[in-house]
Amino acid sequence: MKRSFIKSAVIASVIAIAAASFAGCTNKAGAANNNAVVGITQEPAIFDPHTVVAAGDREIIFNVYEGLYKYDSKGNLNPCLATDVAISDDASVYTFTIREGVKFHDGSDLDAADVVYSLKRAAGLLDNQDGTALVQELDSIKDVTAVDGGKVAVTLESGNTELLSYFTTGIIPEGYDNCQAAPVGTGPFKFESYNPGQSVVVVKNDNYWQKGLPYLDKVTFKVCADMDAGLTELAAGSIDIFPYLTTDRANQLDKAKYNILSNGSNMVQIFALNNSVEPLNNIKVRQAINYAVSRKDVISVTMDGAGVELTTAMSPAMGSYYDTSLDGTFNQDVEKAKALLAEAGYENGFDITCTVPSSYLIHVNTAVELASELKAVGINMEIKQVDWATWLEKVYTNRQYETTVIALTSDYAPYDVLERYQSTASGNFINYKNDKVDELMGKIPSIADTKEKTELYHQVLKLLTDDACSVYLQDPTTITAVSTRLEGYNVYPMYVQDMSQVKVVGN
């Protein structure tokens, strides 16, 4: 009697456990269909093409909005909603020819008026705006007018040959102001839904102006808590594409089920030294630190070797703008580092703190490796993890830090990369100051000749390296795992997920 009672109870509990262990044999995600799931680690927030800044948002709406020009996976700037552009000699007037027969997602046709509205909105020139540009770089626009023949003329305050890359900013229908809630663009995919903390869904734009594109019916950008969560999801097969993996993570994946793509990310991982605090305001100390660091080991530890060593502020991915002559300037040389420290009067080293954002594993790991290497020259670095928000305020905005590790992203444009090193730039969080650099950066925009421009960029880079303004570590390779059921996925040298070329080749 009693036994039976207890037995039944036990059985009940056993069943519970059994049920638990057989959980989830329910449905496999990313099933046999014409859809794809992309894993993203940053919670999307802003879908307005003009106020969007965070890279994590851009990579999604890249599929929804299009600009007059558009980058391809090689980093080339190609005409998109504009068929071509005419730039005046002093580079103060850009005249675009608007492409015919493009339809917005809401069905309306693209015309000059839409472009004017969009550019004005971006430049903050609309009547209801206070004149501050939403897209900072377009602040120099004086006026935007529709010229006959479906042309649009953009007049600048001063000549600037560098601006074309910023006309990639999204074009929206005239008078439309609800981009955040319901994005409307001309891109290959229509915005379907946003489920906070879970996913963003976009669906095929059937009347996309490029015939035949896109191939997929539906793309889901799925939010993963972090890289490891994403990894487990990949392993579980509930994600098709997952970018920004580290190699050691990628190696854990089943080669038969996933292709591992890697590519320079045009990011610059920097061991930032606050140039305005003791003892880092001493150039010898900064050089010493540069010599103390072994970039190879950093890359090996953090990216498992998948990264390009840097000695200056620009990634080799920038092609000719990158100055190859600077390579190997700071090969690890502990003795030299010690000597420099001695010269600077720190023969027995010093203590220093490194404030890193805890949400970025790669930067934290880098800091750990650096700490261990700096110990060798007597520098005693203490690591302080802070959460992203705190990092942004304390380190980036208020510049209350000694050193930090972070990756600098930028558009695929040399000016955008170097712009922050002007002493007045808001992005100059390392407090770097060199009048020569300021002068050069001031001069560049007005110069039309590419060769001359490249030369000036090289000079800037040289100065940055000579001043050892910080320790440039690596251009971490973007490693993306793509399910073998998909093909046509291209890795861009910038923070972008282009799904328009992707097609399903079987399940």
Partner 1 sequence: METVKRNKYRSPEASAFYMAGLTLLGIVVITFIISLFWTPYSPDATDASAKLLAPCLEHPFGTDNFGRDVLSRVMAASKYTIYISAAGVAIALILGTVAGIPAGYFGGYIDKGIMLLGNSIMCFPGILLALVAVAVFGASVGNVIWALGLVFAPTFARVCRVGTMEIKELDYITHARVMGVKPYRIMAMHIFPNLVPQLLPATVIGLANMTLFESGMSYLGLGVQPPDASFGKMLSDSQAYIRVAPWLVIFPALMLVFYILGLYFISEGLRVNLAKGGKR
Partner 2 sequence: MQGKVGYFVGKLVELLVTLLLVSLLVFAAFSIIPGDTARIMLGPDASEAQVNLLRTQLGLDKPLVARYFSWLFGILTFNPGTSYAYNMSVGELISQRLPVTIGMSAIAMVMVVLISYPLAVLSARKPGRLGDQVCSVIGHVLFAIPPYVASLLLILLASSLFSLVTVGNYVAPSDDFSGFVGCLLLPSFAIALPKIAMSFKFLRSSIIEQRASDYVRTSKSHGLSDLKILVRHVLPNSNVSSITIISIILSDILGGSLIVEQVFNLPGLGRLLLSAISRRDFPLLSGIVFYLAFITVLLYFLSDILAAITDPRIRLK
Q: Of 436-455, which residues contact partner 1 (CB under 8 A)?
A: none
In order of 245, 283, 287, 294, 337, the CA distances from 343 in angstroms are 42, 11, 11, 21, 10
Residue closest to 497 by CA, chosen among 183, 68, 185, 62: 62
What phi, psi does 20 have (nearest 5°)?
-55, -45
Q: Of 308-367, which residues contact partner 1 (CB under 8 A)?
A: 358-359, 364-365, 367
Residue closest to 458 by CA, chosen among 262, 305, 323, 291: 323
Pick the closer one to partner 1 by CB: 384 or 433: 384
Shortest Å, Cβ 129 to partner 2: 9
Give the separation between CA 75 and CA 266, rounded to whole angstroms: 10
Shortest Å, Cβ 195 to partner 2: 7
Give residue for tokens 């502020």.
Answer: 313
How many residues lie near partner 1 (CB under 8 A)? 30
Pick the closer one to partner 1 by CB: 326 or 386: 386
Shortest Å, Cβ 292 to partner 2: 27
Shortest Å, Cβ 472 to partner 2: 17
Pick the closer one to partner 1 by CB: 368 or 461: 368
Q: Which residues, in sequence order, are CB contacts of 471 under 8 Å at separation 6+?
A: 270, 271, 273, 286, 289, 290, 293, 330
Shortest Å, Cβ 383 to partner 1: 5
C-alpha angle with apex 505: 503 to 507, nearest 5 degrees?
A: 120
The count of residues in the chain is: 507
Residue closest to 208 by CA, chosen among 194, 179, 224, 188: 188
Give the separation between CA 171 and CA 178, rounded to whole angstroms: 13
Residue type present at position 452:
E
Give the separation between CA 332 and CA 323, rounded to whole angstroms: 20
Q: Compute the CA torsion angle 269, 275, 277, 279 (nearest 10 deg).
A: 90
249, interface contact from partner 1, partner 2, none, CB < 5-8 Å by kind: partner 1
Q: Where are the beta strands (DSSP E) in 316-443?
A: 351-357, 380-386, 403-408
CB atoms within 10 A of CB 291: 23
Q: Of 388-407, which residues contact partner 1 (CB under 8 A)?
A: 390
Pick the closer one to partner 1 by CB: 362 or 413: 362
Pairing of strands 35-40, 218-223: parallel
156, interface contact from partner 2, partner 1, none, CB < 5-8 Å by kind: none
- Of 57, 373, 475, 498, the one binding partner 1 (CB under 8 A) is 373
Shortest Å, Cβ 384 to partner 1: 6
Kindly state whether residue 228 participates in binding partner 1, applying the rule CB under 8 A.
yes
Give the separation between CA 97 and CA 108, rounded to whole angstroms: 19
Question: Which helix (DSSP H) or strand (DSSP E) does residue 473 occupy?
Answer: strand 471-483
- Of 277, 339, 371, 456, the one binding partner 1 (CB under 8 A) is 371
Rg (CA), the chain: 26
- Of 76, 207, 320, 372, the one binding partner 1 (CB under 8 A) is 372
Query: How is residue 62 written in tokens?
Result: 């890249």
Shortest Å, Cβ 232 to partner 1: 9
Q: Of 454-483, which residues contact partner 1 (CB under 8 A)?
A: none
Pick the closer one to partner 1 by CB: 11 or 225: 225
Q: Of 279-308, which residues contact partner 1 (CB under 8 A)?
A: 294, 296-297, 300-301
Pick the closer one to partner 1 by CB: 155 or 358: 358
Q: Where are the beta strands (DSSP E) in 233-302?
A: 241-245, 258-264, 268-273
301, interface contact from partner 2, partner 1, none, CB < 5-8 Å by kind: partner 1
Binding site for partner 2 (CB under 8 A): 1-2, 5-6, 9-10, 12-13, 16-17, 19-29, 43, 45-46, 51, 53-55, 132-134, 136, 180, 195-198, 222, 224-226, 229-230, 232-233, 235-239, 359, 387-390, 392-394, 396-397, 409-410, 426-427
384, interface contact from partner 1, partner 2, none, CB < 5-8 Å by kind: partner 1
Pick the closer one to partner 2 by CB: 51 or 73: 51
Pick the closer one to partner 2 by CB: 314 or 377: 314
239, interface contact from partner 2, partner 1, none, CB < 5-8 Å by kind: partner 2
Query: How is residue 211 written in tokens?
Result: 């015939």
Give residue for tokens 């579980």.
Answer: 236
Kindly state whether residue 90 participates in binding partner 1, applying the rule CB under 8 A.
no
- The secondary structure of 426-465 as a DSSP string is TT-TT----HHHHHHHHHGGG---HHHHHHHHHHHHHHHH
Pick the closer one to partner 1 by CB: 404 or 465: 404
Contact residues for partner 1 (CB under 8 A)?
227-228, 231, 248-249, 251-252, 294, 296-297, 300-301, 358-359, 364-365, 367-369, 371-373, 375, 382-387, 390
